[in-house]
Amino acid sequence: MADHYADGTCSWWHLSQPPPELVAAAGERNDIDEAVAARTFGAWRVEDMERAEVPSDTRMLEVIVARLSA
């Protein structure tokens, strides 16, 4: 796994800001899909995107896992 602090990736993370629908989601069920995620990070190249289930403190969450590159 890459070290984003060592390779400098973290230096540009702050340059993009998520749209309000992503910020408002905060672990709640929503209608954010691959299209919204792709628009949100439109200046980045989507290397891979898939749906997955991940554990939270109280339940399994359906999420979109995306690998992006600048």
Give the model confidence (pLDDT) of 21-45 as tens digits. Answer: 666 666 667 778 899 888 888 888 9
- Residue 15: phi and psi, rounded to 5, are -75, -20
Domain boundaries in the chain? 9-69
What are the counts of helices (DSSP H) followed by strands (DSSP E) for the chain?
Answer: 2, 2
Q: For the whole model, what pTM was predicted?
A: 0.53
The amino acid present at 43, given as its one-letter code, is: A
Task: Measure the CA–CA gap between 32 and 45, rounded to whole angstroms.
Answer: 19
Tokens 């408002």 map to which residue?
A: 24
Residue 13's pLDDT is 54
C-beta atoms surrounding 66 within 10 Å: 16
Cβ proximity of 44 and 69 under 8 Å:
yes
